[in-house]
């Protein structure tokens, strides 16, 4: 029998038809929707006089535009309010499940899907959001789509997709203590560049990946898009099943046994061929931080920013533009630079484990006075867990306050904007120009490096405190 990859098995099982000389018509098991990329899709349905084909397979949550303070009050930004209200209206009109503002299940769509057991191994999952790749951590094919495709899924529960190539990225060895999944991902993107995996669907494998918790696996898969990959995935194992079994919408009893038996057939067959395979030594990875304006511009916290000579000639205009924007000089050290803001949150690092890591580091210490820190749980369930574990008290004693869940400063569609020229150590996913506010200077890092920066007010190796 042909040896197949995890990707091949799930893809093949979801092919409805193949367009001659064209893309595949793929059936979608789960569709997530937020307020920013869906209104035009619902409008499209109305114009064509269509209903949602399989309403039970779509789940909505407003997350991008919502404030992270005073969520019980009407949203002050009227344009944001209109977009959030439009999502509610569409949910009602088309009979869809929505976890709106004030609902105990509200939160960032990529956080609430997994924590409610809506994301399962073997599924095809899409959302009008590039970080849909997060859900691949469960051994599913999950990827971001545009609004026209959101409309296709709503209308037919299918989309047309060319089959991507497959890539396996293996992390051999163990991560050093004090090195997080975010560091692993930033290291990988710095090696592959932001376009290095374009056209591919990635499977992460190896000892260091197996050792990761589900939260950490989600961080890695979430960042797949930052090297251009269509998505990233990790074969399900006992860690996956243990995480899912406790979740509200996960299969129960006989259905669980049946599902589990199927999930166990999914991992890549021994000897299956990938279009490309690369390997890294996980034990060589140091805490990482980015210095430039794309997520591929990452270095170990002890390293210097590259000099112009080290940059490929074709990329020098962009590199110099990034240096000017960031206010950095090529060749200088990044450690010890003063920072102004710290953001803990987003679909990349807004889960309970990220708050545990951050809280355990700042416990008994004090936030640097000049640093403004935004700690934004990824969902209300995460917020509740933070309080249940008493992490909120630890954070408060160290001078931090929790905000309310949402995408927040990751893309600054709400009021959480970093002012022009200010430096933010951010656990989010993108350091593009203006991403956290016009002129804002973003340094991407993991929750541990962010915690160290919040305490010292400088870019600091957490090990040195």
Partner 1 sequence: MEKFQTLTSTCVPLPIENVDTDQIIPARFLKATTREGFGANLFADWRYDKSGQPISNFVLNNSTYSGQALVAGKNFGSGSSREHAAWALAGYGFKVVVSSFFADIFKGNALNNGVLPVVVSDVFLLELFAAIQVDPTTTITVNLEQQTISNNASGVVETFEINPYKKECLLHGLDDIDYLLSKKDAIEAWEKAH
The footprint of partner 1 on residues 146-205 (CB under 8 A) is 146-149, 151-152, 155-160, 162, 164, 194-195, 198-199
Q: Is 415 in the site for partner 1 (CB under 8 A)?
A: no
Whole-number minimum distance, CB 267 to partner 1, in Å?
Answer: 20
Q: Is 412 in the site for partner 1 (CB under 8 A)?
A: yes
Total of chain residues touching partner 1, rule CB under 8 A: 71
449, two tokens: 């490096």
Q: Is 58 in the site for partner 1 (CB under 8 A)?
A: no
* Residue among 20 and 364 whose Cβ is closer to partner 1: 20
- 224, 231 Cβ separation under 8 angstroms: yes
Closest CA to 99 of 39, 71, 59, 55: 59
Contact residue for partner 1 among 430, 446, 450, 451 (CB under 8 A):
430
Whole-number minimum distance, CB 202 to partner 1, in Å?
Answer: 13
Whole-number minimum distance, CB 445 to partner 1, in Å?
Answer: 19
Whole-number minimum distance, CB 48 to partner 1, in Å?
Answer: 7
Bridging pattern class, strands 124-127 and 141-144: parallel
Q: Is 207 in the site for partner 1 (CB under 8 A)?
A: no
- 307, 330 Cβ separation under 8 angstroms: yes
Closest CA to 444 of 292, 323, 313: 292
Helix (H, G, I), strand (E, B) or coil at 25: strand
Q: Return the ∠ at Cα 81 (arms to 75 and 87), rounded to 5°.
A: 130
Of 78-86, 238-246, 341-349, 369-377, the segment contacting partner 1 by CB under 8 A is: 78-86
* Residue among 82 and 245 whose Cβ is closer to partner 1: 82
- 456, 465 Cβ separation under 8 angstroms: yes
Q: Is 49 in the site for partner 1 (CB under 8 A)?
A: no
- 279, 204 Cβ separation under 8 angstroms: no
* Residue among 241 and 432 whose Cβ is closer to partner 1: 432
Please give the Cα distance from 361 to 409 (Å, whole number): 22
Contact residue for partner 1 among 71, 86, 172, 239 (CB under 8 A):
86
Please give the Cα distance from 171 to 280 (Å, whole number): 5
307, two tokens: 């000099």
Contact residue for partner 1 among 8, 63, 115, 129 (CB under 8 A):
129
Quickly list H helices, 143-196.
147-156, 181-192
Whole-number minimum distance, CB 463 to partner 1, in Å?
Answer: 32
32, two tokens: 């997530």
Whole-number minimum distance, CB 310 to partner 1, in Å?
Answer: 16
Contact residue for partner 1 among 3, 12, 17, 324 (CB under 8 A):
17
Q: Is 348 in the site for partner 1 (CB under 8 A)?
A: no
Q: Return the ∠ at Cα 262 (arms to 258 and 265), rounded to 5°.
A: 150
Burial 210-225 (b: 16+ CB within 10 A, else e): eebbbbbbbbbbbbbb
Q: Is 416 in the site for partner 1 (CB under 8 A)?
A: no
Residues 280-309 that bind partner 1 (CB under 8 A): 294, 296
Closest CA to 345 of 395, 420, 397: 395
Whole-number minimum distance, CB 249 to partner 1, in Å?
Answer: 18
Whole-number minimum distance, CB 179 to partner 1, in Å?
Answer: 26
DSSP summary character for residue 202: E
Q: Is 117 in the site for partner 1 (CB under 8 A)?
A: no
Of 82-90, 93-101, 170-178, 264-272, the segment contacting partner 1 by CB under 8 A is: 82-90
Residue 424: its H or E element: strand 423-426
Whole-number minimum distance, CB 265 to partner 1, in Å?
Answer: 15
Residues 306-345 that bind partner 1 (CB under 8 A): 314-315, 317-318, 321
């Amino acid at each position: 029998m042909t040896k197949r990859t995890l990707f091949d098995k799930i893809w093949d099982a979801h092919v409805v038809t193949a367009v001659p000389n064209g893309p595949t018509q793929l059936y979608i098991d789960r569709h997530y929707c937020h307020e920013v990329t869906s209104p035009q899709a619902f409008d499209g349905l109305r114009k064509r006089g269509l209903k949602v084909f399989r309403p039970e397979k779509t789940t909505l949550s407003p997350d991008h535009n919502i404030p992270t303070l005073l969520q019980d009050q009407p949203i002050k930004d009227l344009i944001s309010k209109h977009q959030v209200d439009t999502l509610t209206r569409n949910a009602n009109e088309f009979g869809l499940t929505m976890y709106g503002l004030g609902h105990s299940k509200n939160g960032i769509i990529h956080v609430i899907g997994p924590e409610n057991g809506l994301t399962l191994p073997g599924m095809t999952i899409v959302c009008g959001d590039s970080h849909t790749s997060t859900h691949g951590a469960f051994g599913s094919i999950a990827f971001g789509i545009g609004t026209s495709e959101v409309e296709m899924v709503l209308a037919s529960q299918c989309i047309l997709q060319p089959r991507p190539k497959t890539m396996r990225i293996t992390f051999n060895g163990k991560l050093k203590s004090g090195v997080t999944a975010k560091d692993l991902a930033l290291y990988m993107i710095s090696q592959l560049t932001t376009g290095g995996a374009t056209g591919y669907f990635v499977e992460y494998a190896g000892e260091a990946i197996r050792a990761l918790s589900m939260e950490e696996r989600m961080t890695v898969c979430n960042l797949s898009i930052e090297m251009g990959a269509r998505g990233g995935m990790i074969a399900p194992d006992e860690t996956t099943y243990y995480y899912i079994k406790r979740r509200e919408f996960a299969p129960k009893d006989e259905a669980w046994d049946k599902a589990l038996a199927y999930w166990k057939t999914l991992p890549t067959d021994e000897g299956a061929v990938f279009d490309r395979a690369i390997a890294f030594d996980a034990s060589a990875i140091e805490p990482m931080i980015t210095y430039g304006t794309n997520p591929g511009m990452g270095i170990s916290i002890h390293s210097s920013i590259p000099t112009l000579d080290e940059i490929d000639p074709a990329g020098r205009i962009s590199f110099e533009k990034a240096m000017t924007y960031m206010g950095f000089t090529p060749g200088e050290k990044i450690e010890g630079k003063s920072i102004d803001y710290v953001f803990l949150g987003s679909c990349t690092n807004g889960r309970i484990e990220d708050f545990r890591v951050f809280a355990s580091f700042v416990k008994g210490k004090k936030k640097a006075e000049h640093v403004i820190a935004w700690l934004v749980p990824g969902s209300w369930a995460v917020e509740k867990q933070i309080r249940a574990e008493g992490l909120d008290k630890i954070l408060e004693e160290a001078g931090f306050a929790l905000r309310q869940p949402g995408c927040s400063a990751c893309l600054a569609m709400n009021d959480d904007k970093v002012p022009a020229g200010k430096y933010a150590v951010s656990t989010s996913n993108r350091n593009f120009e203006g991403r956290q506010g016009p002129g804002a200077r973003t340094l991407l890092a993991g929750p541990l490096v962010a915690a160290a920066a919040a305490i010292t007010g400088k870019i600091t190796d957490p090990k040195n405190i």
